[in-house]
Structure 1
């Protein structure tokens, strides 16, 4: 019998964020690995996500794309995992989830492309400047053990993935607050398990050409 939840991904993509969240949620899911050519751009997958991008999930016939949305959706769909915010956590949970999806994502992408925003341009750019984004992110992770307070939530999967990747690929400046936060996240069994599954999928896809 097929799972009620199908996960479409490529292990060399932001799909690793969704995989980590699926593991944290304790979801039973089927994985479909897609390459960047025929897989993602084929008609079958474009019927799921017309953008031709991964990740995507289909849960009980409903499609969810975009990593932040997938994290928030799974937190609500699997409440027993305790990853959705409490009433006290909700403001920070949504604030920093959308900060990472908006200003942080945009600033990181433009930095990777070698784009530097001038002071004159900063007023029209949503994230202002790269340095402002990094300083703001540092303040957020230094305020509590986790992004919404003293407890791990789905927002930590999404925000934490950006920080872990930013450190790995060198676009995020080194800060003590980032190092301490990453250490708390990297020890989580679901994070380790998700990485192992993605590494195995990558080896399988490479072996199959």
Structure 2
């Protein structure tokens, strides 16, 4: 039995955690959960009271939220070289959690047609969709990678949102986003993760057919 277990669904943000696990290179187990009752039963809610994925069990510890899982694994397995160096720490934490907070909220609300009135934008953590997208564009344009000159765990998280957002139309497609994703999309760990999750999704479809 391995120390790491990922609770996920291949059509969820669990894909971010799967990519991170593949980057780390440590053995791990996977528990695939269907949406709905399987995520809401007492057994799984003891792992994540929110009843959602992803969740990561590491020995006797549980980590939830994809950004936290990325940051946790980078620091817990430093041999993978994905934690920030001293000169990268500011941009690493700044943009990973900017994406987890303002970007996620702004893109979700925008997709749902929920736009704060201009005179109330100060009450919303992200201000406006336009300001968030502009800030993200500047972030991915400042360096080859989000924290500097090399790939880190922050790129797993930020890159996932850029890819999904532009693919599904929740994030405006801009040359800077395309160029950033081009620098990430051929990573071996990413492609392994995609193949594993795509296969898991196909198996789930067959099981319910």
The TM-score range, normalised by the shorter chain, is over 0.9
Alignment-derived partner of residue 157 in structure 2? 158
Alignment-derived partner of residue 70 in structure 1? 69
Indicate if the aligned counterparts of 1:167 and 1:173 stay in contact, CA closer than 8 A: yes
Indicate if the aligned counterparts of 1:33 and 1:205 stay in contact, CA closer than 8 A: no
Alignment-derived partner of residue 31 in structure 1? 30
1:16-27 pair list within 5 angstroms: 16-27=15-26
Alignment-derived partner of residue 189 in structure 2? 190
CA offsets 1:131-179 (integer angstroms, 9 cap, x no match) = 0000000000000000000000000000111100001101111211111
Query: Post-superposition shift, 1:67?
Result: 0.4
Which piece of structure 1 moves more, 130-139 or 117-126?
A: 117-126
Looking at structure 2, the residues matched to 27 and 206 of structure 1 have their Cα atoms a distance apart, in angstroms, of: 28
Query: Post-superposition shift, 1:101?
Result: 0.7
CA offsets 1:18-65 (integer angstroms, 9 cap, x no match) = 001111111210000000123211111111001000000000110000
CA offsets 1:173-200 (integer angstroms, 9 cap, x no match) = 1211111100111111111110000011
Looking at structure 2, the residues matched to 196 and 42 of structure 1 have their Cα atoms a distance apart, in angstroms, of: 29
Looking at structure 2, the residues matched to 73 and 100 of structure 1 have their Cα atoms a distance apart, in angstroms, of: 16
Alignment-derived partner of residue 169 in structure 2? 170
Alignment-derived partner of residue 3 in structure 1? 2
Looking at structure 1, the residues matched to 186 and 133 of structure 2 have their Cα atoms a distance apart, in angstroms, of: 24
Structure 1, unaligned runs of 5 or more: none
3-state SS of paired residue (2:56)? strand
Query: Post-superposition shift, 1:79?
Result: 0.8
Structure 2, unaligned runs of 5 or more: none
Alignment-derived partner of residue 61 in structure 1? 60
Indicate if the aligned counterparts of 1:71 and 1:155 stay in contact, CA closer than 8 A: yes
Indicate if the aligned counterparts of 2:121 and 2:127 stay in contact, CA closer than 8 A: yes
Looking at structure 2, the residues matched to 11 and 194 of structure 1 have their Cα atoms a distance apart, in angstroms, of: 10
Alignment-derived partner of residue 47 in structure 1? 46
Looking at structure 2, the residues matched to 178 and 127 of structure 1 have their Cα atoms a distance apart, in angstroms, of: 19
Alignment-derived partner of residue 137 in structure 1? 136
Moved over 6 A (4+): none
Looking at structure 1, the residues matched to 174 and 126 of structure 2 have their Cα atoms a distance apart, in angstroms, of: 20
Alignment-derived partner of residue 85 in structure 2? 86
